[in-house]
Each structure stands twice: as C-alpha cells, then as structure tokens.
Structure 1
Amino acid sequence: MVRLTVDLIAKSKKHLKKKRGLSFPEYLKTLTHLHFSSKNIDDIGDLSMCRSLTVLYLYDNQITCICNLGFASNLTHLYMQNNNIPRIDNLYSLQKLSKLYLGGNRITVVEGLEELHELKELHLENQRLAPGEKLHFDPRTLHSLADCLHTLNINNNNVDDISALSVLKELQHFSAADNKLLSIEELENVFGFWPQLLLLDLSGNPVCKKPKYRDRLITLCTGLEVLDEKDINDLTRQFLINWKASKEKKRNNRMLLRPLIAYPLTNDLNTGQDPLPGHI
C-alpha cells in the first residue's frame, strides 16, 4: 500500500531539486504541479499544505476513492485515469476545475459534478464495467454542466442512448466511439441542440452503417469540422447542403401539384326534390 502524503513528496528527488533553499513547508505552499503517476498509490492522504496546487497527476495508480482534495480550491486540472475508482465523489470544493480525466476506472454513473461550473473537459472513456452494464448520466449533473462543458469523451462504455445529453448546449467536441448507438434519428434530435459542435466521433457504433449516415450528420451539424476522425471540407459540406435543399424543394413542389381527388356530388338533400328511383 502506498499513500500519497507530504512525507512521500519529501522523499521525491524531483521535488528536492526544486526547493531552491526554501524550507519544506514553504516549498509545499508554493507547489503548483504534483506528479505522482504510476507509483502504485492506492490512497490520497493529507495534502492540505499544498494550497497553491493547480495541476495534479495521479493516473495509472490503484486509487479506489477520490478523497482529501477539499483543500485544493485552486486546482484546474485533475488526472486520475486508469485507477480503480467506482464513483465520482468529493469534488464539490474544486470550483475552479477545468479539466477532469477519469477514463479507465470503474465508474457507472456520471454524477457529483453539480458544483463544478468551470468544468470545460470531462473524459470518461473505457470504464471497466461489469458484463451488461453501461454508463449512466445523472440529470442533475448534466443540467449543472449545460453552460460550461465543451468536451465530453464517453468512448467504449456500452452507451445506447444519448438523448439525456441534449442539455449540453455548449459542447464542441463529443466522442462516443465504440458504443451501441443505433438510431440516427435520435442522434439528429440531440445534435440539433448543439450548435457549437466542431468535432464528432461515433466510429464503431452500429449507426455508422446506416444509409447516408455521414451525409445526414454533415448537413445537420453545419459547423462540424471533423467527423469520425475525417476532416470535412467546405466544398463537400456545401454540396450536401445544396443537395438536401434541392431534394426538399422537389418534395414540396410535388405536394403542391398533387391533384385534388374529385368526389361525385348529389343535390338530393339540397334541392328539396325527391330522390330518383334507386338512390334511396
């Protein structure tokens, strides 16, 4: 077991070189970046002396709980991918957090981010889920991120429905590759709420095999620059937009020119005359 504490920092040769004559407590107060990736760390201890911390690297460890970070009110970047974290928790104090990396853990619900109103990037790809499990989204968290989140990565999480994500109206980069998305109509409904979308990756989903999949998304997301890791040039986009407009115009013209169906009229009830024999 390895616990991340100030004592562990004190033993790090990398940090000893950076002290530059400061006492260790003084050095901890000035520390802005902390690198402890791939150190077999399974727990976070008391780091409250590191009050200037802005970037924390803890990826590729054995951490099972996000804890003891309440002191880090200046933290902007948190890298905790490839650990054993089952739940997003104890982040409410990190109100300056801009980028959060939690890919490769055991998270089943996207939750606990209601206070992070500065969060721009959220990376949750490749969760190690139980058979038949998929990644879920807490509506409270989604609504709290609606005005700030620009990048969302949920690759390879057995996701088959993203309708709840439509509230994320500021999204610019969305990656949901290698999931189970099937309905292109559902995608169109969601993407219609994302006018800022620039990069979209849905490769490896069943929906990619639908007829005109790429054409339909390019004409819908008019600002899209990259789809499934392939650039979209302006000429292709304009051609598809013109083609769609021409198709809709032809359809509307056919509706206008459709002949009226003539129905036989009788005056039996309007003239007051007796009906002819056989018309009763």
Structure 2
Amino acid sequence: MVHLTVHLIAKSSNYSKTCRSESLQQYLKKLTHLNFSNKSIEDIDDLSMCRNLTVLYLYDNQISKICNLGFASNLTNLYMQNNNKSCIENLSSLHKLSKLFLGGNSITVVERLDELKSLKELHVEGQKLPRGEKLVFDPRSISSLSETLCILNISKNNIDEIWDLAPLRKLTHLYATDNQLQDIQEIETVFRQWSQLRLLNLNRKPVCHKPKYRDRLITACRILEDLDGKQINELSRQFLINWKASKDAKKKLDDGKDIKEQTTNPLTTDFRMGPQHPFAHERSSSLSKPSEYASPALHFEYKETAEEKRSRGINIPVRTGRL
C-alpha cells in the first residue's frame, strides 16, 4: 500500500533538484503545488507541514477515502478524478476550495458540500454506478452552492431529470452529455432560471431529438453563446426571440377573445363541441317520447247509415210516416 507522506514528497524529483540549502520543513512550508497523480497512492498521510498548499493533484490513483486534509485551509484546487471513492467526505474545512474534480469514481450521491462557500467548479462526470442507478444530488448541498457554483459537469451519469439543480442560478457552464434527459418542457423551465448560462452541452441525449429542440433552448437561455459545441449567431437568436414573442402575444390575444366570447355569449361554452343550448338534452328527449304535457289527441267517430247496414244483411225496419 502506497501512502502519501512527507517522506515520499522528500524523495520526489522536485525536492531532489533543490540545492538542499533549506530543510525539508522549510521546503514543505513554501510548497503550494503538489502533484502525485498516477502513483498508485491508496491513502493520504499527515501533510500538515504543507500549510500553504493551494493545488493538489491526486488523480489516477487508488484512493478510497479523503482524509487528513483538514490542515489545507488555503487549498483552492483538488484533483481526485479516477480513484476508488464511493462517497464525498471530509471537505468541510476547505473553505477556499474553488475547483473540485471527482469524475470517474463510484460516487452515487453528491453531498456534504455544504461548507464549501467558495466552490465555483464541480466535476462529477462518469461515475461508475451500479446498473440501473443514476447520480443524485442532496438538496442541502445544491442550496449551499446556489450562490457560488458557475461550472458543473454531470455527463455520463444516467440522469433523467434536473429539477434538483434549479437553485444553481449562477451557472455559466453546464456539461451534461450522455444522460437520459427527455422532457424538453422541464429543461426549458429550469434553464429559464439560469439567466447567466453561456455554454450548454446536452449532446447524445434523447431530448436532443425533440422538435425545435435548439430553437426552444436558445429562446429559453437568452445569453447562451454555445449549444452542443455550436456557436449561436446573435442575429439568429434575436430572430427566434422576436418570433417567440410574437407567437406568445398572438396566443394571449386569442385567449382574450375566447374569454370575451364566453362572457358575452353564455350559450357557446365549448368551441370543440359547437354551440350548445342549455335545454338541448330536454328538447331532444321530447322528440323521442311523448311529453306528459302534450295536448290530448283528437278522435273522430264514423257512424254507419241504415241502408249500408241493410246491404250487409242486417234487417232494419222501415219507418213510415204520414204526410
């Protein structure tokens, strides 16, 4: 097992190249950048003598836990992509941390970032997730990052909705390729809240194949400069914005006419069904069956004459009278 220790740092080429006119303690105290990427490191030992450390490169190692960084109050950049991490922990003391790289690990929940009040970039792309699972976000961390985070990379994480990210109103760059987003209406609603968004990449997502996908997102993100790697022409943007404004105004006008017509003509309440009389059902039923209020029918009685009866063999005496 390889541990990152001060002795390992002492054996590094950078320290070996010095004239050794200064002690190791003096060297470590002045150290601001430390690069131990791809060194098969599994654990971080006590590095508290490196109090002025600002940038730490530990990517492409085998680290499973972040530890012993409580001393690094001046750290601004931490690179820990492609390690063996399954969770985010022990970062609360890094109050000056501005860029955090955790891509290519096995993290399932983006959490415990509440104390990182200076974080501007977060990279959690390509997590090695269990089959069928997606990367999720703790609302408390998202809320804490809402006033600082500008760049977010969540590509290749099976994400199918982004409602939880809506509070990130300071975002200027979003990288979210190779996910499962499909609801264009949801995306429009969230993006309208990100008024500072300038770069957006959603390539290789189902939503990219929706009708007028590009037009709808350009009108939703008013200052967007780059969508899926393609520059947005300002003339095209203005045309789409004006077209949408005209369309919305026409719809509002049509809706107003509909409401006015329903108010002035209460008999016409459903334009899909056609005009409907309030007593239509009663009138139609009265045609199919007699009404109890109908006038009685007239009856005519035919009376047969005496001669007609005799002709049928009925003996009718003949009356005689005096003149």
TM-score normalised to structure 2 length: 0.79
Provide structure 2 residue ranges, at least 5 long, that are not aligned to the other structure: 268-276, 280-292, 295-323
- What is the 5 A alignment of 1:258-273? 258=258, 260=261, 262=265, 263=267
Mapped to 2, the partners of 1:239 and 1:116 lie a distance apart of 41
- Structure with max Cα Rg: 2
Output the amino acid matched with 1:50. C
Output the amino acid matched with 2:104. G
Residue 138 (structure 1) aligns with: 138
Instruction: Quote how far apart the aligned CAs of 1:106 are.
Output: 0.5
Residue 97 (structure 1) aligns with: 97
CA contact (8 A) 1:19 1:27 kept: no
Provide structure 1 residue ranges, at least 5 long, that are not aligned to the other structure: 267-276
Residue 160 (structure 1) aligns with: 160
RMSD of aligned alpha carbons: 1.7
TM-score normalised to structure 1 length: 0.91
Question: Is residue 127 of structure 2 the alignment partner of residue 127 of structure 1?
Answer: yes
Instruction: Quote how far apart the aligned CAs of 1:151 are.
Output: 0.6
Output the amino acid matched with 1:76. T
What is the aligned residue count? Answer: 268
Output the amino acid matched with 1:260. E
Instruction: Quote how far apart the aligned CAs of 1:68 are.
Output: 0.8
Residue 253 (structure 1) aligns with: 253
Instruction: Quote how far apart the aligned CAs of 1:18 are.
Output: 3.9
Mapped to 1, the partners of 2:254 and 2:145 lie a distance apart of 45
Residue 64 (structure 2) aligns with: 64
Q: Deviations over 1:247-273 (max 9, x none)?
A: 22332333344583643799xxxxxxx
Mapped to 1, the partners of 2:115 and 2:125 lie a distance apart of 22
Please state whether the residue corresponding to 1:117 is helix, strand or coil.
coil
Residue 8 (structure 1) aligns with: 8
Mapped to 1, the partners of 2:251 and 2:53 lie a distance apart of 61
Mapped to 2, the partners of 1:126 and 1:246 lie a distance apart of 42
Residue 313 (structure 2) aligns with: none
Q: Deviations over 1:78-118 (max 9, x none)?
A: 00001111110000010000000000000000001110000
Residue 270 (structure 1) aligns with: none
Residue 236 (structure 1) aligns with: 236
Change in CA separation of 1:20 and 1:240 when aligned onto 2, cut-off 3 Å: farther
Residue 182 (structure 1) aligns with: 182
Mapped to 2, the partners of 1:218 and 1:95 lie a distance apart of 36
Matched-pair identity in %: 60
Mapped to 1, the partners of 2:68 and 2:132 lie a distance apart of 33
